[in-house]
Amino acid sequence: MSTPLEDITIARQAVLRPIEEIGEKAGFPASALLRYGSYKAKVDMDALKKVNTSAHGKVVLVTAISPTAAGEGKTTTTIGLGDAMAALGKKVMICLREPSLGPCFGMKGGATGGGKAQVAPMDDINLHFTGDFHAITSANNLLAALIDNHIYWGNDLGIDPSKITWRRVMDMNDRALRQIVVGLGNNGQTREDGFDISVASEVMAIFCLARSLEDLEERLGNIIIGQRFDKSFVRAKELKAAPAMTALLRDAFQPNLVQTLEHTPTLIHGGPFANIAHGCNSVMATDTARKFADYVITEAGFGADLGAEKFFDIKCRQAGLKPVATVVVATVRALKMQGGVSKENLGVENVDAVKAGITNLARHIENVQKYGIPATVAINHFTSDTEAETEIIRQACEKLGVTAHFANHWAEGSKGALGLAEEVVALAESGKANFTPLYPDDLSLKEKITKIAQSIYRAKDIDLSPAAKKKLDAFEEEGYGKLPVCMAKTQYSFSSNPKLLGAPEDFTLPIRDVRLSAGAGFVVALCGEIMTMPGLGRAPAAHQIHVNQKGLIDGLF
């Protein structure tokens, strides 16, 4: 098992190449790179338009089983797979999400991979990077300020303050801000408000789904911020907010180029959470990679029930993507935890627990296969894995018609994932992919939520609250019935109960509320007690992060 010190040491001993060299490897001319120091750059999309390229990259999705405290290593595997495919002589580009400061300082830590399968410079990427999240936060909060300012100066639009749905955001876990009161001290009309984390903002979702600056501005203008006293919707364009919001996002909207420790070009751009948003990197980055690489390796957040489902049903639907292969990541340790073993006992061989935990892996495999995408399994190797435990996984995957690859990219880099890479290339070239979303556009919003709950989660039914049903009816009356749905649900279980591990079924999924993200182009369904502003844990990762005597940042893993 890796340690933070090992990961940091490996990253700092790596010899990075100038970003112009990485750009050249990707096919980007130096004139298209806007340098942020020696090892990272924004990619000037106007300059790229002048480059002739015939590539039409095949998209490969990396997803995972339901996450546990043991970790699965989805980002590490994405990076290791990309490096291994490059080692096979393929022109490949990796597309990842930007880390949020919330989990960096909260429970999860950094999100740049680990061991010899990392993207760099790790410290910069995890903390602030090129300022994209700050721009998204500012654009979101500009709209919030314009709403309250409009009401303060007479409220010509007739906005009902009690029906404002637009919330402020910040890129930090802070439970104290979930519910607040604004307008105190004669500074406007007093009303209840609240904060979400920036990665849950509709601005973040729009940022990641827009195809151009013009599309970005149009989507921002279509944001619904609340209702008038006559119950009609109010849009951001009526507050004249979209042009200024677009101005704040202009530079951030250009993808960020960095490198792996083996110098594979990597675009890191956008970062919506998959448990409360759609969990995929930006369409701008993915489209750019497809124009310059033969293979694009990307990931979607958390387990396949969340990130992969949203990648297929939201991102692929809106961006016209047709993925050719899927990799489902697991570890022996995580499977044992899914089978009921406590974290402190994961190093002890337990074949029965692996057998019990495989039900979770099997369900995720079955789910991705429902989309018509061939799949393979990557078991992210740990030194504590035993032959008996890995043989159980191999046999179980064989029964499901997929191959399990025991990859050691953390310790060996590309060399440790060559078998996985060869399998992915074979699947991608097989012509077996026949991508089809889970549901058609013309199902009702309730039917779409039910379809996901029953087909992906294996719920018996949904329990739609009266308030949520009323909102869904209103959304459909306003013409939003054809939108896909984005499920906001705990990442730890197929159900809404984070303690219900393995592969539960025949439960009822509670839908307590729904939100319309008209600019992003989906309807959010909030399941159970899921929060759109996380809190810090009893021992947050922030306690371990510091600047050492050499002026370097330690503790980010």
Known catalytic residues are 74, 76, 97, 108, 274, 302, 382, 410
Burial class (CB in 10 A: 0-12, 13-18, 19+), 373: buried
Token representation of residue 157: 């639009």
267 bridge partner residues: 95, 257
Residue 252, H or E segment: none
Give the pair of three-digit tokens for residue 539: 């021992």
Which residues have CB under 8 Å from 241's CB, separation 6+?
142, 143, 146, 220, 221
Residue 218 neighbours by CB under 8 Å, 6+ apart: 242
Asked if 1 and 410 touch (Cβ cutoff 8 Å), the reply is no
Quote the distance between the C-alpha of residue 408 and its chain's center: 24
Instruction: Reduce the DSSP state of residue 62 to 3 states and report it.
Output: strand
Report the alpha-carbon distance of residue 495 to residue 488 in Å, rounded.
11
Greatest distance between any 2 Cα atoms in the chain: 72
Whether the Cβ atoms of residue 205 and residue 183 lie closer than 8 Å to each other: no
Cα–Cα dist 182/197, whole Å: 18
Distance of alpha carbon 318 from alpha carbon 162, whole angstroms: 33
- CA separation for the pair 503, 361 (Å, rounded): 9
Six-digit token pair at 191? 């009303």
Q: How far apart are CA 268 and CA 344, in angstroms?
A: 34
- Please provide the DSSP assignment of 63-128 as one string: EESS--TT---HHHHHHHHHHHHHHTT--EEEEEPPPPHHHHHSSS---SEETTEEEESHHHHHTT
The three-class DSSP label of residue 439 is: coil
Cβ contact 305:475 at 8 Å: no
DSSP string, 310-335: HIIIIIHHHHT----EEEEEE-HHHH
* Two structure tokens written together for 357: 């935990």
Whether 104 contacts 540, CB under 8 Å: no
**How many helices, marked H, and strands, marked E, lie in the chain?**
20, 24
Could you write out the DSSP letters of every residue in 490-529? -SS-SSS-TT--S---S-EEEEEEEEEETTTTEEEEEETT
Contacts of 339 (CB under 8 A, 6+ apart): 350, 352, 353, 354, 355, 356, 357, 358, 502
**How big is the CA angle at 2 (ends 121 and 123), to the nearest 5 degrees?**
20
Half-sphere exposure of 76 (CA within 13 A, CB side): 29
CA separation for the pair 265, 259 (Å, rounded):
5
